[in-house]
Amino acid sequence: MHDDHDDLIYEALSQKDWKEIKSSDSWTIFKVMGEFVGGFEKLARIGPCVSIFGSARTKPDNPYYKMAEEIAFKLTQAGFGIITGGGPGIMEAGNKGARKGKGKSTGLNIELPFEQGSNPFIDSDKLLTFDFFFVRKVMFVKYSQGFIVLPGGFGTLDELFEAITLIQTHKIGKFPIVLVGSDFWAGLIDWVKTVLLEKEKNIHAEDLNLFTIVDTADEAVAIITEFYTKYTIKPNF
């Protein structure tokens, strides 16, 4: 007896003839292209926003849920739109705050066999659903003017380190990355400092300046708004 993981492994290891490989790969390429074209077309009309990342599993009574909602609301009052991953938890809180603030509320949903459906606080014309995580991540980065990262799991960490890597390597501009919740992030950041930087020297000391840790909604919003005041850039709304 085997589960879905076994099925994926068996499929990857199975022998396929050239015709099957060519047909499968060609279809995948067209699907990827379709997701990129659809995403670019829709998000270009929305304009850049601030992305809010965090766990799909966070409940509405959790303080971080309430903080995500407050951050999103206050960002819309400053003229920014909000992008989330479109699902429940912290993502729902971000879209809920954007809706409450009458700002643009965008959701980049991902098709998963478990856990995630789109939340009800996304503008009907601003919901996109993706099959491919990598296409979805491109959309987050391309159309975000800043990143607010609340506590989450592997997906949240993936999105965080994607943003840090692209800024570190100068593939995108040095947009603000704000980590919310010092208690949650302290262990990870301590490891980054003591192991990545001091012990292994795998990063530079200035890489620690690529993100800021805060504990309140006002601090998070201030970092975004002060960044754009400094560069005399205004939201596209």
Per-residue model confidence as pLDDT tens for the chain (237 residues): 456 667 655 565 566 665 565 567 788 899 999 999 999 999 998 877 999 999 999 999 999 999 999 999 999 999 999 999 999 999 999 999 999 999 999 999 998 877 668 999 999 999 999 999 999 999 999 999 999 999 999 999 999 999 999 999 999 999 999 999 999 999 999 999 999 999 999 999 999 999 999 999 999 999 999 998 876 555 544
Contact 109, 80 (CB under 8 A): no
Largest CA distance in the chain: 61
Tokens at residue 103, please?
């700002």
Q: Which residues pair with 214 in a beta bridge?
A: 180
What is the set of domains in the chain, with CATH numbers?
Answer: 48-230 (3.40.50.450)
Q: Quick check: helix, strand or coil at residue 26? A: helix
Contacts of 168 (CB under 8 A, 6+ apart): 203, 207, 210
pTM (two decimals): 0.87
Phi-psi domain of 135 (left: phi exceeds 0; alpha: psi -120 through 50; beta: other): alpha
